[in-house]
């Protein structure tokens, strides 16, 4: 029983660390002042405040982002976007194949937002939200 409690505590302590793996970025002169709720709405096709850019499926940044912001697994996201596409309500966001591709897209589109690991942030983008 004691080891079960220790495991539960360890898992609770580890959860915030997973969330700290990405930051939300935008063009240096672009979107700012977004909350977690705003970003969630943008990525779940509920708001047009910005154009969302996703990392490619299977990338750890994508998993970390959705753990933090939308709370959805990859299979839940696939189901969501299948329904959105089927009903004509929306298409999945454009995908970036790497952190450098993500930064390039964001740096060239003042209306876009994305996410990268904090270590990948440089002067081409600005951090607009972090855990």
Is it the case that residue 15 has pLDDT exceeding 70?
Answer: no
Structural domain tally of the chain? 1
Can you give the CATH number for the domain in which 54 is found? Answer: 3.40.190.10
pLDDT tens for residues 63-113? Answer: 999 999 999 999 999 999 999 999 999 999 999 999 999 999 999 999 999
**What is the Cα–Cα distance from 29 to 27, expressed in whole angstroms?**
5
Structure confidence at residue 20 (pLDDT): 53
Quote the domain boundaries for residue 27: 2-129
65 three-class SS: helix
Please state whether 33 falls in left (phi above 0), alpha (psi between -120 and 50) or beta: left
Do 65 and 22 touch, CB atoms closer than 8 A? yes
User: pLDDT class for 54, splitting at 50, 70, 90?
Assistant: very high
Structure confidence at residue 126 (pLDDT): 98
Is it the case that residue 14 has pLDDT exceeding 80?
Answer: no
What does the pLDDT average to over 39-58? 97
For 6, the enclosing helix (H) or strand (E) is helix 2-19
Cα 7 versus chain centre, distance? 28
């Amino acid at each position: 029983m004691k080891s079960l409690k220790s495991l539960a505590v360890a898992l609770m302590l580890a959860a915030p660390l997973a969330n700290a793996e990405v930051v939300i970025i935008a063009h240096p002169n672009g979107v700012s002042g977004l909350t977690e709720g705003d970003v969630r709405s943008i990525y779940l096709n509920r708001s047009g405040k910005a154009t969302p850019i996703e990392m490619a499926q299977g990338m750890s940044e994508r998993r970390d982002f959705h753990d933090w912001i939308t709370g959805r697994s990859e299979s839940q996201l696939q189901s969501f976007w299948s329904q959105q596409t089927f009903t004509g309500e929306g298409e999945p966001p454009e995908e970036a194949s790497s952190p450098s591709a993500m930064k390039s897209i964001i740096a060239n589109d003042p209306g876009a937002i994305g996410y990268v690991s904090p270590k990948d942030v440089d002067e081409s983008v600005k951090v607009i939200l972090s855990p």
